[in-house]
Structure 1
């Protein structure tokens, strides 16, 4: 199997966090516009089909999107690649153990052979020295001890040498067998991968035809379905389609006037970062494919998503406040009238401003320090941290501004109900 050495460039990462959400927002609004015109009940997007082919073509997801059951052909081939790579990893571990044993045995043989010859060459001199010394003298005892030490070293070296030769006899064939098994499964995984690439290339050439066929099938099904419906049922379905599309870009929480400007900033910022969740799906899918298909785990996916989700959490705070998505004790709050809710919000807003102000002030310090020292990550990706720290500042500013907008709306509600009373 070929390996993947791609490392995401820093500029592409930061650009993608903006370009992809904007593209997705535009596509979502086009879907809503078609729904309003009554023509988006079941349509297929060619750009989306190609995107699915690139992102999930190895699993045949583009075929499933275009309602073709031939996508099932891709799945067993993909599973075979995973199995082949699993076998390859097993043989690689066996080869690594056997090769290490072979290397150790060869090193022992290369080391102990000369040592034995050297020690055996010293024995005649040691025996002659022992014979020259007077029996029972200190010199004789020292000579005897030196001779015994040399003989003991020779015996232990011969034992190590014999054990190394035995290990070499067993480990070398095992290493060769493991290397052969690894090469076999590596070739099998490569052939299956090339087969998938060929199938994807064919589908890329046929994509326009597959799209037209899917739309023709959908039109035929819609015609059969419409023929069995009454006028009231068709009108109800059309209304539901429009309502479903209206939920894309729902602006029910936006207010008029200057507070509406702040609300729109929070709304669009939240909508933009919400599409980062889609980027995470693509990124982790790439990581899984790189790790288990190509045996090439990345060094950047985890940190890229870690930073992205941190920025998403902070920037989406204002959107959550706009849509009242934060957790509150609704058992007490929900039954209150609009005026009483506004009074409670005004009374508790001091705690919000303590939190939001602290977040903004601390983020400014973090961002400035990261910019001054050009802080980067500690792994090999070495991405700069200052853009993420300034995203914290943006999130803090949006949250404070949304708090001001909410404060103004609560004051209006209290004043309006007081005048009405």
Structure 2
């Protein structure tokens, strides 16, 4: 059961990490198009700003779970590095499972509620001349926050079961 949960969390974070990479390509392509349209053809787009902030927000939140799995988030550990591995594991596990996981789970719930309301009401971006629908963006935020909460639970379990022996930065495929 534990292994299946960890596999699901890791698989979802990998999949969403790939989606974040695709969103980066969307961001780059839309900005290149906007620059060419604006400066070469003198015809700026109505949608470039909205695509930029939505794709940036989406790529960050979708990539957060994968970043956690790879232990690539910034960690300030000048105190914890002096503690034994088991104590560090207990601290990490406690913080991940009992503080961060519920917090990000709650944020995912709030984002999901907002996404549903935006879908039901047909909410659009009100400060944009393009006025895109907002529920796809809110849904992406919900998925990313939910995946981060799931990965926090998985990493909390890992921290309790097999604490890191050292604090060297290692990427795994």
Whether the TM-score (by the shorter chain) exceeds 0.5 is yes
Query: How many pairs are equivalent?
Result: 160
Cα 1:263/1:327, change in 2 over 3 Å: same
Q: Which residue of 2 aligns with 1:397?
A: 146
Q: Which residue of 1 aligns with 2:41?
A: 294
Provide the aligned C-alpha RMSD in A: 2.1
Q: Which residue of 2 aligns with 1:261?
A: 8
Q: Which residue of 2 aligns with 1:314?
A: 61
1:328 Cα shift? 2.0
Tell me, what secondary structure is at the counterpart of 1:275? helix
The answer to whether residue 30 in structure 2 is matched with residue 283 in structure 1 is: yes
Higher-Rg structure is: 1
**Which residue of 96, 106, 115 corresponds with 1:358?**
106
Q: Which residue of 2 aligns with 1:368?
A: 116
Q: For 2:124 and 2:72, how far apart are their aligned partners in 1?
A: 34
Higher helix proportion (structure 1 or 2): 1
Q: Which residue of 1 aligns with 2:19?
A: 272
Q: Which residue of 2 aligns with 1:37?
A: none
1:303 Cα shift? 0.7
Q: For 1:300 and 1:342, how far apart are their aligned partners in 2?
A: 46
1:305 Cα shift? 1.3
Unaligned stretches of 5+ in structure 2? 164-173
Alignment TM-score, normalising by the size of structure 2: 0.81
Cα 1:337/1:271, change in 2 over 3 Å: farther
Return the structure number with greater relative CO, CA threshold 8 A, min gap 6.
Answer: 2
Residues 76-99 of structure 1: CA deviation (Å, up to 9, x unaligned):
xxxxxxxxxxxxxxxxxxxxxxxx
The answer to whether residue 133 in structure 2 is matched with residue 384 in structure 1 is: yes
Residues 82-128 of structure 1: CA deviation (Å, up to 9, x unaligned):
xxxxxxxxxxxxxxxxxxxxxxxxxxxxxxxxxxxxxxxxxxxxxxx
- 2:123–2:135 Cα contact (<8 Å) kept: yes
1:335 Cα shift? 4.6
Alignment TM-score, normalising by the size of structure 1: 0.36
